Amino acid sequence: MNAATGLLLLAAVILAANAPFLSRRILLAIKPAGYDQGRDKSGWWRVLELIVLYFVTLGLARLLESHAGEIYRQNWEFYAITVSLYLVFAYPGFVYRYLRKSRE
């Protein structure tokens, strides 16, 4: 995997980690109930989206690794670290959605 591919993957992971917090739609496509009245999706939808998008980006990384050469077998430590990093990358979106002061 060259540097450009690694940077592309890193950008995709950061975007995917923050997407649930930056969009009011479920998986960036489906309007939740009450969307037209201005209601937001619940926090559980955001957690589910984080999990789904984590596996999507993991699949993308595996695809890129397969094009670069041999796919290495990973142990549980790899997945623990990648989940932790994914949550760290999601922190700016979480702060934007829940912790910043509203101007209203």
Helix or strand (DSSP H, E) at 81: helix 76-94
| pLDDT for position 84 | 96
| pLDDT for position 101 | 64
Q: What is the pLDDT of residues 18-50, one digit of tens each?
A: 999 988 777 777 776 666 666 677 788 889 999
Mean pLDDT of 60-79: 89
- Going from N- to C-terminal start, the domains of the chain cover 3-99
Q: Which of 98, 7, 87, 96 is nearest to 54 (CA)?
A: 87
The answer to whether the CB of 26 falls within 8 A of the CB of 49 is yes
Q: Two tokens at 74? A: 């990973």
Name the average pLDDT for the chain: 86
φ, ψ for residue 44, nearest 5 deg = -65, -35
